[in-house]
Structure 1
Amino acid sequence: MCGFLTEFCFKDTISTEANCFKDILALSKHRGPDASHVISESYFQLGFNRLAILDLSENGNQPKQSKSGRYHVVFNGEIYNFKALAKHYSLSSINSASDTEVLIDLLDAIGIKQTIKNLNGMFAISIVDTVTKQLYLARDFAGIKPLFYGKSKHGIVAASQFNQVFKHQWHSDQSLRLDVVKEYFAFGYMQAPNTIYKNIFQVNPGELVEINISGDIKTKTLLKFPKTTEHKSIDYSRLDKAISDAVNRQLVSDVPLATFLSGGIDSPLVSAYAKASRTNIEAFTLKVNDKGLNESELAKSYAEALEIKQHIISVEENSIIDSINAHFKAFSEPFGDYSSIPTYVISKESKKKHTVMLSGDGGDELFFGYPRMLDVINKKHWFILPRIIRKPLIRITNKLGITNTWSPYLDSFNEFIINKHTHLPSQVLDNAIPKTVFSDSLKILYTITNGKKAAILQQLRWNEFYAHLQRVLIKVDRASMINSLEVRVPLLDKNVIENAWQTTENLKSKSDLKRPLKQLLSKKVPENLVTKQKKGFAVPLHKWLQNDLKNDVLDIVNKTKFYGDDVFNAQYLRQYVKDYYNAKHNNFWGVWHIYAWQKWAKLHLN
């Protein structure tokens, strides 16, 4: 796991000084503290900060040049099938035991597009083809690893971090995109391919971006999982093998490796498969001093059942609060998911003993784990009716006690689904950023056709995978990499995704959520553990905002210049925070989005 920086100049001559390039590269030093190297040619520069995981020798350092001399590469992530690819394509002249070595040999053997299509892993790759004078940017099919790029009159800057692009001297014009700013305040993150700045973008999951020396940009989707698919029943033996193989591939490491272990389903399942292959595997669990949120006891029961050595990281509330400012430094883009706080804390503690961790992220999105999916299915019938009929009808059924919901008041089925993912009221957003609608790319993500149950569920999974999961992956990547910790996600292995995508669950109750994973886990631990209620990976944010964080929130929101208030009306956002402290609403998550925006601006725009 690493961080990289690319400059690709349209004028055939690099115009930045070497020291400026190195200063920008240094912004991602925490992503790769073990080695740092730069190569400079007439029209491009590549820089790399390495976190050594495979082949700890200098042979694993980057940037790399293919043996033909045609391709120059920087690559962040892991390619888990690199040994299988080397064997399949008879790559015999490998000089190191790193996956990067296989990558550059594959480029010579089968070309860029075919190479990327063959990869199974988490990756962000920048490739300069010196024959055609073109830059290629590629990102893994689940969007696990970040890849930003900005276009200016000078050329392209591509990097692992948002701030490496917007702080680059080619990008002094930082014009805000109000549609994406509005999306941030609603959803709490920047959804690819957009960012809050007009000329800076993210590579989509599974996308290849091709840029020539004249500045023409072409994008090609190499793999995108379908929005609809034919329903098949679950083959448990096949799923079991897919997850087992994925975990085994991701256990390959030349540095200490362990797992995260919560009281849920996903991380215990990953830990169980890891234990089956590596008997001395260890697990890390976070214990918080709040009975309503602490799940360390259930995680302890899992560890005992699996006979895994467990490290319980017990953190006092004051210690976590003290970490919040340091935690904000991890996010060089605006980010408002407050579960990033415990993720940062456990990553920091885990790094003291290990460099690689396995997590269970992706299970909820792939295997229908969210109650909101069930709620959509249960209320889909309301949206067959026109709103003019729905609204008075639901008032009557609510009054009679037949129903107890406000959902049918919403304009459409898609607005109902969007509402489940947003944390600021549309009225506040529309007043703060008027005459602005969400971007076309986001609208596409939340376009779900109301119809048969199975078809809706498949569309909901597609939506969760390409939307909400991206927020989860941003959280985990930034909170871990600020601590120079690599987190691998076996449930997002390409083969596991493909296996899961072929099946659709028949959700009738909460017990049906994530049933395939529960079935597999119940074969490895007592079933009574599997059926217990997970508490969630969270912190008592409402309590903190009302007490320890109150002064900082009020100061940075009300007494500090609000970033962007020259192009939108921030007063409505300020008022929303004031209303929270005046007990007019209790939407602490929405307040956190506003607070996090200001913290990001203060910490990263100077």
Structure 2
Amino acid sequence: MCGIAGIIGSRYNIEDLRKMLKSIRHRGPDASGIYHNGKCLLGHNRLSIIDLSKEANQPFSDTSGRYQLIFNGEIYNYKELKAEIGGRYDFKTSSDTEVLLATYIVFGKDCLEKLNGMFAFAIWDKEKKELFAARDRFGVKPFYYHQAGKKLIFASEIKAIHKVAKKLPDEKTWANYFCYGSYGSRDTTFYKDIFQLPAGYFLEYKSGKIQKYQWYNFEERIKERSSDYGSESEVKRKYLELLEDSIKLRFRADVEVGFNLSGGVDSSLLLALVNHLHPNHNIKAYTFYTGDKRYDELPWVEKMIQKTGNPLEKIKLSLEEVPELSHTTTIFQDEPFGGIPTLAYSKIFKKASEQVIKVLLDGQGMDEQWAGYDYYSHTNNTLIQGSKNESPFRLNVLSQDFKRLSEKPQYPTPFSSGIQNKQYRDIFYTKLPRALRFNDRISMAYSTELREPFLDYRLVELAFSLPDSMKIKGNVHKHLLRELVKDYVPFEIAEAPKRALQTPQREWLGNELRIFVDQQIEKLLNSEFSEWFDAKVLRTEWEAYKNGKQENSFYIWQWVNCSLVVSGE
């Protein structure tokens, strides 16, 4: 796991690249390197996970010096790929980095189909003076870019690009955020002229021009799958085999591995299988709590730990920490993020880093592939878990001119199943992309690598393609998965309904943290972005919230988060 940065063009120099790398030093504190040749500048900050030797540092060159690679992520099946390549490449290290470069040299663009991993990388061809860059299937790892004339700037985080490019808000994206809860499209960001390479795409940059291509066509892969899935027991067997293989692949590391544990079905199953596959490892588990029994998942977590016997680190988020954590987390996130639960989750990575745990596993991605959210059973198109009939937005506080900039996002519906279309939306446009962004930034803020075994593309494709009846049965979501889980976790966890990962955000913002919210709202309404809002109406809504109208707190957090982001803190 690392941070990459690059500049292709003659107007910039090494000092510009050094500024970019310094801004994302947290992504890779173990080593830093720069490649400079003509109009090409490539930089890399390394977090050493596989092959800890300096020979695996980046930018990484092949023996001829023609190709230079900078890479953020992990290629989990690198050992299998190395064996497949065999004598067609002369390997000098035991790193997945060199395997990635060798796979590109041997197979060209088709190398992407062979990779099982999370990645964002760029390869410079010195001979052709061309850049090839790609992002993994689900966009676990970020790739941002900015084009200024015939010059290309790219990096793992937006803040690095802002070191050499103007920082201007993209007002349409912000308007969509306030009106519809959208966190941007697959290729846009909250900043003008800064884009992201969509998940499952690669780009080529030559002669001052960018061309983007989709290399992972999820829709076609699902439609090509056989509709003969066999019995439920056969499906469970197939899924379990793939999941065990996914865990084995993601356990490959030359450093210690830890585990993020919530009280839900997903992470509990994952921990049980980790212990089954690695019985002598006794992996350390981390969980957060707030001390509020209405929201804490500690009872379920401790029930699971009683069964597995893993050491457990319980990390408390206190309300007094929220203001400072909100500021620091905003700096790392660059864009709006999910609220106080994200702050609580960030403390896990901080604690793991302090204990020299560089890799953590977690259960992200299960709900999207198995239709786990409550709204998959509803006819509406809500994006907010548990929002029911109460709107999570307050459009009345927005100025008319700003509101007119918004455009309701439209999502493709390539499948005949309405449930699958919602899953597809969540995997590629809404739920998963924003969760992966939040999680990448908070893990890397503390120089830790987050691995998500459920996001192995083989698992996602299998579960997604199953009939709706295997995912939802009556009022039970993730039906078939829960049947599988019963063999591994306590009954209370296997049968428990989906619980949103929560903290007392609603209560804290309107009560103990109201002074903090007051400060952020006033800062927002006195900033250069105040024209986005009707100040009188916004203050009225805030007073109503403080006086007990607290059905949801999403819109309150939007205002707080906007204040923190636009103020540059």
- TM-score normalized with structure 2 length: 0.90
Give, in angstroms, the shift of residue 519 of structure 1. Answer: 2.1
Map of 1:96 onto structure 2: 93
Map of 1:264 onto structure 2: 264
The aligned runs of 1:210-359 (5 Å cut-off) are 210-214=204-208, 216-226=209-219, 229=223, 233=229, 235-279=235-279, 280-319=282-321, 322-353=324-355, 354-359=357-362
Question: Which amino acid counterpart does residue 157 of structure 1 have in structure 2?
Answer: I
Report if aligned partners of 1:149, 1:158 keep a CA contact under 8 Å in 2. Answer: yes
Map of 1:434 onto structure 2: 403
Matched, 1:206 2:200: yes
Map of 2:509 onto structure 1: 545
- CA deviation string 1:162-197 (max 9, x = no partner): 1111x232x22x444332112222326333211123
Report if aligned partners of 1:269, 1:517 keep a CA contact under 8 Å in 2. Answer: no
Aligned partner of residue 323 in structure 1, secondary structure: helix
Question: Which amino acid counterpart does residue 493 of structure 2 have in structure 1?
Answer: L
Pair 1:40–1:574, CA change in 2 (3 A) = farther
Aligned partner of residue 50 in structure 2, secondary structure: coil
- TM-score normalized with structure 1 length: 0.85
Aligned partner of residue 339 in structure 1, secondary structure: helix
Report if aligned partners of 2:397, 2:534 keep a CA contact under 8 Å in 1. Answer: no
Map of 1:409 onto structure 2: none
- CA deviation string 1:406-452 (max 9, x = no partner): xxxxxxx6xx446878831455557362322327xx4135x588xx6
Structure 1 CA distance for aligned equivalents of residues 475 and 436 of structure 2: 26
Structure 1 CA distance for aligned equivalents of residues 19 and 347 of structure 2: 28
Matched, 1:178 2:156: no
Q: What is the aligned residue count?
A: 550
Q: 2:55 aligns with which of 38, 52, 59?
A: 59
Pair 1:601–1:510, CA change in 2 (3 A) = farther
Report if aligned partners of 2:173, 2:406 keep a CA contact under 8 Å in 1. Answer: no
- CA deviation string 1:506-562 (max 9, x = no partner): 266575311232222211123333113454322111222123332222222224565
Pair 1:190–1:498, CA change in 2 (3 A) = same
Map of 2:545 onto structure 1: 580
Give, in angstroms, the shift of residue 232 of structure 1. Answer: 5.0
For the aligned residue pairs, the C-alpha RMSD in angstroms reads 2.5
Pair 1:584–1:302, CA change in 2 (3 A) = closer
Question: Which amino acid counterpart does residue 247 of structure 2 have in structure 1?
Answer: V
Map of 1:192 onto structure 2: 186
Pair 1:74–1:600, CA change in 2 (3 A) = same
Report if aligned partners of 2:46, 2:58 keep a CA contact under 8 Å in 1. Answer: yes
Question: Which amino acid counterpart does residue 327 of structure 1 have in structure 2?
Answer: T
Aligned partner of residue 146 in structure 2, secondary structure: strand
Aligned partner of residue 47 in structure 1, secondary structure: strand
Pair 1:565–1:287, CA change in 2 (3 A) = closer
Structure 1 CA distance for aligned equivalents of residues 384 and 267 of structure 2: 28
- CA deviation string 1:482-501 (max 9, x = no partner): 01111100000122122223
- CA deviation string 1:115-143 (max 9, x = no partner): 12211101111122223222222111011
Report if aligned partners of 1:580, 1:587 keep a CA contact under 8 Å in 2. Answer: no
Pair 1:563–1:25, CA change in 2 (3 A) = farther
The aligned runs of 1:523-538 (5 Å cut-off) are 523-533=487-497, 535-538=499-502
Pair 1:175–1:560, CA change in 2 (3 A) = closer
Aligned partner of residue 328 in structure 1, secondary structure: helix
Report if aligned partners of 1:139, 1:208 keep a CA contact under 8 Å in 2. Answer: yes
Q: Percent identity at matched positions?
A: 27
Pair 1:511–1:60, CA change in 2 (3 A) = farther
Give, in angstroms, the shift of residue 155 of structure 1. Answer: 0.9
Question: Which amino acid counterpart does residue 69 of structure 1 have in structure 2?
Answer: G
Aligned partner of residue 424 in structure 2, secondary structure: helix
Map of 2:374 onto structure 1: 371
Give, in angstroms, the shift of residue 481 of structure 1. Answer: 0.9
Matched, 1:141 2:137: yes
Give, in angstroms, the shift of residue 598 of structure 1. Answer: 1.1
Structure 1 CA distance for aligned equivalents of residues 411 and 319 of structure 2: 41
Aligned partner of residue 86 in structure 2, secondary structure: coil
Aligned partner of residue 38 in structure 1, secondary structure: strand
Map of 2:486 onto structure 1: 522
- CA deviation string 1:454-507 (max 9, x = no partner): x11111110111121111111111111101111100000122122223213326
Pair 1:427–1:547, CA change in 2 (3 A) = closer
Structure 1 CA distance for aligned equivalents of residues 368 and 152 of structure 2: 34
Matched, 1:500 2:463: yes
- CA deviation string 1:19-45 (max 9, x = no partner): 232112111111111111111111111
Aligned partner of residue 74 in structure 1, secondary structure: strand
The answer to which of 244-253 and 526-535 deviates more is 526-535
Q: 2:25 aligns with which of 21, 26, 29?
A: 29
Pair 1:297–1:509, CA change in 2 (3 A) = same
Matched, 1:41 2:37: yes
Matched, 1:123 2:119: yes
Question: Which amino acid counterpart does residue 8 of structure 1 have in structure 2?
Answer: I
Report if aligned partners of 2:371, 2:478 keep a CA contact under 8 Å in 1. Answer: yes
Pair 1:195–1:366, CA change in 2 (3 A) = same
Structure 2 CA distance for aligned equivalents of residues 514 and 594 of structure 1: 34
Report if aligned partners of 1:188, 1:335 keep a CA contact under 8 Å in 2. Answer: no
Map of 1:106 onto structure 2: 103
